């Protein structure tokens, strides 16, 4: 059923509306690297042998032009295009819809190219080598259809100084299986504490709460199962032009309906990402520091993996 080695799926088709630019292809590293290049570098090091990029067709040419010269010969590459018209099952597209249908719809667009267990990540988040090593270990040792994993980060390591963020709050049972992932919107930091806004009220959150940063481990059967869920989603929400079909919410449904189990895999890796324009400088300085301290080469591909 499966290709021998796991693949890495990178979600790079989002609109980045809060950021105000294409952060997927922006340079952050000392030699102009994008954030996702660090993920690819770490993934190759951990043992992944194929990268599947989910992008929008309209910027495919520039995306390939930027990434292929660096990665050719180092890892297998595949491209999938997320389009609004995909997986409509005869339904007309609502007038005025421009926003992509979300991260699980993006995964659904990969349905025909997935031939191995895989990890999925965001293009604009830095996850750290430890996370990729743990994901690779899970995908080569523990994974089977219906048994999946989510990499969990500590909430305190995932907040922005420049505005509120959305995070998937993870609840686990005594066996370390996830019992729910609750999308918490408007989480912000104030005086070394975390709060979320709920109906106008501020509710304190534990800084050590495990949260999902959209780093999951699945087999292709999860994507196949989600197709029916997507049609249900369209029937319920398609008139809302901003509604999105999101991985954590679909995982939550998988768990609640007993269709599968999802383990929490904790990582101590440092996470950082760019939600807001103001986060960019912090990311650049973090990558500079990791280059000098943790041994990332100053030029990932020239000095790095051959």
Domains along the chain? 7-304 (3.90.550.10)
pLDDT value at position 18?
38
pLDDT value at position 24?
65
Tokens of 72: 């050719």
Q: Please name the helix (run of DSSP H) or strand (run of DSSP E) that holds residue 55, with its range, or none.
A: strand 50-55
Question: Is residue 251 within 8 Å of residue 150, measured between CB atoms?
Answer: yes
Q: How far apart are CA 48 and CA 43, in angstroms?
A: 5
Q: In this structure, is the dihedral angle defined by the CA atoms of residues 42, 48, 51 and 54, taken in order, positive or negative?
A: negative
pLDDT value at position 23?
61
C-beta atoms surrounding 258 within 10 Å: 8
Tokens of 87: 């997986």
Q: Is 51 exposed, middle or buried (0-12, 13-18, 19+ CB in 10 A)?
A: buried
User: How many helices (H) and strands (E) are present in the chain, helices listed first?
Assistant: 7, 13
pLDDT value at position 295?
77
pLDDT tens digits for the chain (306 residues)?
445 799 999 999 864 443 334 666 788 999 999 999 999 999 999 999 999 999 999 888 988 998 999 998 999 999 999 999 999 999 999 999 998 999 999 999 999 999 999 999 999 899 999 999 999 999 999 789 999 999 999 998 888 888 898 888 999 999 999 999 988 989 999 988 999 998 889 999 999 999 999 999 999 999 999 999 999 999 999 999 999 999 988 999 999 999 999 999 999 887 888 877 888 888 999 999 999 776 799 999 975 454
pLDDT value at position 157?
85
Q: In this structure, is the dihedral angle defined by the CA atoms of residues 177, 219, 251 and 21, taken in order, positive or negative?
A: positive
């Amino acid at each position: 059923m499966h290709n021998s080695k796991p693949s890495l799926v990178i979600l790079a088709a989002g609109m980045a509306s809060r950021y105000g630019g294409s952060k997927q292809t922006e340079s952050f590293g000392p030699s102009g690297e994008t954030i996702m290049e660090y993920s690819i570098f770490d993934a190759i090091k951990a043992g992944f042998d194929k990268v599947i990029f989910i992008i929008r067709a309209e910027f495919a040419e520039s995306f390939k032009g930027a990434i292929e010269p660096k990665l050719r010969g180092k890892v297998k590459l595949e491209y999938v295009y997320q389009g609004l018209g995909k997986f409509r099952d005869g339904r007309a597209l609502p007038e005025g819809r421009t926003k992509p249908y979300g991260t699980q719809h993006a995964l659904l667009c990969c349905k025909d190219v997935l031939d191995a267990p895989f990890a999925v990540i965001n293009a604009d988040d830095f996850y750290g080598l430890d996370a990729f090593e743990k994901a690779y270990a899970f995908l080569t040792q523990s994974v089977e259809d219906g048994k999946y994993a989510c990499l969990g980060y500590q909430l305190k390591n995932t907040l922005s100084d420049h505005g509120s963020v959305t995070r998937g709050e993870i609840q686990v049972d005594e066996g370390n299986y996830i019992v729910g992932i609750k999308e918490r919107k408007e989480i912000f930091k104030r005086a070394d504490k975390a709060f979320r806004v709920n109906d106008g009220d501020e509710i304190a959150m534990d800084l050590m709460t495990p949260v999902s940063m959209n780093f999951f481990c699945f087999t292709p059967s999860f994507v196949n199962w989600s197709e029916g869920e997507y049609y249900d989603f369209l029937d319920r929400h398609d008139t809302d032009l901003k509604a999105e079909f999101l991985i954590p919410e679909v995982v939550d449904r998988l768990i609640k309906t007993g269709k599968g189990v999802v383990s929490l895999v904790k990582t101590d890796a440092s996470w950082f990402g760019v939600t807001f324009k103001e986060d960019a400088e912090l990311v650049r300085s973090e990558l500079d520091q990791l280059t000098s301290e943790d041994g990332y080469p100053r030029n990932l591909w020239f000095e790095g993996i051959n």
